[in-house]
Amino acid sequence: DAKTTQPPSMDCAEGRAANLPCNHSTISGNEYVYWYRQIHSQGPQYIIHGLKNNETNEMASLIITEDRKSSTLILPHATLRDTAVYYCTRIAGGTSYGKLTFGQGTILTVHP
């Protein structure tokens, strides 16, 4: 019973925006959406998170639909170094105790 659903793979041209979708149709009102990425089997790296408002930081933007059933991670100007597996996960505020549930993620390949 997947808590989030992501496409298995996506391609993007270097310099273009990469838009990675995530479906979380059963999300509860107190659950945040978190995005991580994993490069070359290194430890996962935090990217961004949000509850209901769109968020932006130095790495990416997160767009959450008004009904909160899906979200999109946007890498505005993808580089070759952004080639990685991207994981979307959901965490209940105040009760996660540091536990994360990862699906298989989206393999993003950035091409020259």
The Cα 63–Cα 11 span in angstroms is 20
The Cα 34–Cα 36 span in angstroms is 7
Residue 32 within binding range of other proteins, rule CB under 8 A: yes
- What residues between 40 and 69 interact with other proteins by CB under 8 A? 41-46, 49
Closer residue to other proteins (CB): 99 or 112: 99
With contacts defined by CB under 8 A, name the span among 16-24, 61-69, 71-79, 95-103 that binds other proteins: 95-103
Phi, psi (5° rounding) for residue 94?
80, -5
Residues in touch with other proteins (CB under 8 A): 32, 34, 36, 41-46, 49, 87, 91, 93-94, 96-105
